[in-house]
Amino acid sequence: MKDYTFHYGRGEKTFSIDESRVLKEIRMPEKSPLTDIPSAVLEAIRNPIGCPSLDEIVKPGDTVTFICNDPTRVANSFDFMPVLLNELNRLGVPDANVQIVFSLGSHRLMTEEEMAEGVSPEVAGRVKMFNSDCNIPEDFEYFGTTSRFTPVLINKHICHSDHVILTGTIVHHYFSGYGGGRKAVLPGCAAMETIRHNHSFMMDPHAGLGATTGNPVYEDQMEGVKLWADAMKKRGTNVFLFNAILDAEHRFLKMFAGDYIAAHLEACKFVDEVYGVPIDKKADVVIVSCGGYPKDINVYQMQKTMDNSVLAVREGGVVVLLADCEEGSGSKVLEETFRRLKTPEAIEGELAGHFVIGANKAYAVSRLMTKAHFILVTSLDRQLAKDMLFTGAVNEVDEALKLAEEYVGKDYSIILMPTGSLTVPLYKG
């Protein structure tokens, strides 16, 4: 027997298993983290990809809007935002000319405390900060319609500065290919109808993890953001990207800056390199952690780990998923959809006829349950877990493994995924 310790919520869970059962422990390839964060930030923005540096384009007295992630994304904005703000000061931009807009998409609003925690109390005390609330129509400007008929409605707070700097981190995304880049704007700073229409393409079979060309979600987002960016260029606004890639312990591995398309594509190549992990065989049981808070803050975020872990389990096998879910499901619409429709088939059928944000996550969760059994190690309400069709919800991993034997027998193989929200199993078969 061997002890393993996985992140769980704001703490950890330790469990013991027979080491001889373990086919593989899926971890990111060893990469040395950056040690001098300020220098790495400055190196990236002074040597950008595909466009002039901030030194060349920022003039004294210019106005600047930063777009930053909300708490559901691990971005470490508190590390790089002070450096970026001080650099703008050096270039002649006073704090009074800078603002931050948090790209919430359709997520809940952030509190002032969460904003300060996200970008650092120092930065929060120096600049204006806003939530992008997708449900306030008057906060959005119209920039046309994509070829897929998505209305491009973008928050007015990112539409009237001399410079807009998109920030964040990049991981694989289960239906839009990759995070980061254009997603800071759409869906991050888009109106609900824009998000709803764009996300409806997630049901297309070409939408998927790591897919760009031919992925209707990704292509629609790119087209919509280009409509906005082209209009901004005509107004004299520069759009600049700063994205980073983190390791499993939330340490910076590499930073990319420059043109929001070119720099992001380069960064995605690095994401594939560090997050994709080959496997020779699928297991009967996968034991997986989201990686702790905030990746397991609720079911809404946990689902992304479900998508990764199901790539490592055989058809009809079991995924034991460690996810605290301190904020419950993360969506009342998600809960109501499960309780009312009750089966994956019914959820998919209704969503195909009428796409609703929140209900789409019920589809994302339930479609995976046709491939494997999911047993949660969680603090989630037990009745809620049952309503959402999870095979079980227990307190400890050993309880989950006992339950798993009902589906895979006593002689089962295991794959371990301690950072399941990041790592993507690549089955050679």
- Local structure of 381: helix, strand or coil: coil
What value does the mean pLDDT take over residues 273-287?
Answer: 95
How do residues 221-266 score in pLDDT, each as one tens digit?
Answer: 999 999 999 999 999 999 999 999 999 889 999 999 999 999 999 9
Spatial neighbors of 114 by CB under 8 A, at least 6 apart, are 70, 71
Grouping H, G, I as helix, E, B as strand and the rest as coil, residue 321 is strand
List C-alpha distances in Å: 83 to 39, 80, 119, 122, 140: 9, 5, 11, 11, 30
Q: What is the pLDDT of residues 20-48, one digit of tens each?
A: 999 999 998 889 999 999 999 999 999 99
Q: What is the pLDDT of residues 63-73, one digit of tens each?
A: 999 999 998 88
User: What pLDDT is attached to residue 30?
Assistant: 85
Which residue segments constitute the domains of the chain, with CATH numbers given?
Answer: 2-29+277-427 (3.90.226.30), 37-246 (3.40.50.11440)
Output the CA–CA distances (angstroms, integers) from residue 262 to 28, 181, 242, 269, in the order listed. Answer: 25, 9, 12, 11
For 105-122, write each residue's pLDDT tens digit: 999 999 999 999 999 999
Structure tokens at 204: 């297309």
Residue 429 above 80 pLDDT?
Answer: no
Q: Residue 346: its pLDDT value, please?
A: 97
For helices 344-353 and 359-366, what crossing angle results, to 10°? 140
Q: pLDDT at position 248, please?
A: 87
DSSP 190: B
Q: Helices H, strands E: what count in the chain?
A: 14, 20
Cβ 178 vs Cβ 271: under 8 Å: yes
Report pTM: 0.90
Average pLDDT, the chain: 96
pLDDT at 251: 95
User: What pLDDT digit, counting tens, does each position of 198-229 carry?
Assistant: 999 999 999 999 999 999 999 999 999 999 99
Closest CA to 426 of 217, 303, 306, 273: 273
**Per-residue pLDDT averaged across 407-428, rounded?**
95
pLDDT for the residue numbered 71: 87
